[in-house]
Amino acid sequence: MGHALLYIGGVILFVIGIALSIGLHEFGHLVPGKIFNVKVTQYFIGFGKTLWSKRRGETEYGIKAIPLGGYVKLVGMLPPAGGSGPEGEDVATRPTGMFAQLVSDAKRAEYEHVDAADHDRLFYRQPVWKRITIMISGVATNLVLAFILFALVFMAYGVREPSMTIGAVSQCVKVAKGGSDPGPCGPKDPLTPAAAAGLKPGDKVLSFDGHQITDYWELQNRVRAYSGSAPTTIVVKRGDQQLSLPITPAPESLPSLDDPAKRVEAHFIGVSPTFERQGQSLGYVTSMMVDQTGATLSALGHLPQKLWHVARAAVGAEERDPDSLMSVVGAGRVAGEIAAQEENSVGDRLATIALLLGSLNLFLGLINLIPLPPFDGAGVATALVEAVRSRWARIRGRPDPGVIDSGKLLPVTYAMAILLLLVSAVLIYADIVAPVSIS
């Protein structure tokens, strides 16, 4: 019962995190829109049936039933057909095809509640820099939120790092070398250098071979690089005592630190460290953001191949890759499994869920940079093209060509929306029948 409650709690926590992430993304559009006095009629989290809404001023705020997105209605996203004249006058009145009819209907709906007082408040009439600011602010919000979540985990909560305190001492060489089943140490098995020197769990290493040691990795590197067969000295703190113990690192074939699949000749002493949580620097967080950004961009670049393998896993043609794409359903299941891992501390579980939400926000931010509707990148790209086109016309002494009729991109918007629904359906189905599991 307790396991189930923890699982459900993890799912609920993740869903709340998603809703907040979506809400903050849209809030990122809302705030500059309000600051620049653009007419904003709706701010909603979710799609589908309205569960709750409240009107404040000219804007209706609310929550809808399907928490898979959200939107802010910035009036004037679709300029009239000619891009000039009173709003609505240039909208085509005799569409000649299905898409033309869709564009015409969308534009009529866009300007249904627009009057003369709103003329200068329409989105398409704003300067390019204002439009770019409004569109990019949602992306920036997700990226900042991802950074904050990573910083909270890595800087405030910390990362488990090996400390200078010895956690275990291998008694004989064959146990230190490991293997599938080394068995217990026998009376004839040679002792490890650490055991022969009398090192004990709980000893804190201060120096090795005359060099002060500041972290475990330095100790490991100095031991591995030790040359010769003469004894050296390792200084440790044991309780209130400081001990200088003679020790002779032994040569052995060990896994390479750069590539564990390769083995190299190096020295060892036969100790392993304890692990402690240590707060990391701002540079560490930045490095992690850069690495995660690269991994996310790589995943987006290989989206068709990854989706193909997920689809094959969904029909039982192959095993589901633990690193495969997931829908919010799959991510929610993972969050539930994380929350139910009672062997880990509450802090560890919350930190892992926070990192999951951080990765989700990073993904949301980056995918919205795609310069195709309905992503925010389409609005940014359109504004940039307008700016370049206007500048080029000015250089050539030509009239300003005006705004781009983004209504012509509505067929692309509908096609992308259908594609996103299909992708979501495949991922959700796969997450139900062949879920990614961390247990």
Q: What amino acid positions are annotated as catalytic residues? A: 26
C-alpha–C-alpha distance, residues 319 and 435, integer Å: 10
Give the CA diameter of the chain. 97
Q: Report the alpha-carbon distance of residue 158 to residue 155 in Å, rounded.
A: 5
How many CB atoms lie under 10 A from the CB of residue 159? 16
Name the helix (H) or strand (E) containing 238: strand 232-238
Joined together, the tokens standing for residue 2 give 């307790």
Minimal CA–CA distance to 197: which of 271, 286, 295?
271
Cα separation, 307 vs 286, in Å, equals 29
Work out whether strand 271-278 and strand 211-212 pair parallel, antiparallel, or are unpaired: unpaired
Contact present, 365 and 146 (Cβ < 8 Å): yes
Residue whose tokens read 């390019």: 128
Helices (H), 315-375: 328-339, 346-367
What DSSP line would sit under 199-219, residue for residue? --TT-EEEEETTEE--SHHHH
Decide: helix, strand or coil at residue 285.
helix
d(CA 125, CA 247): 77
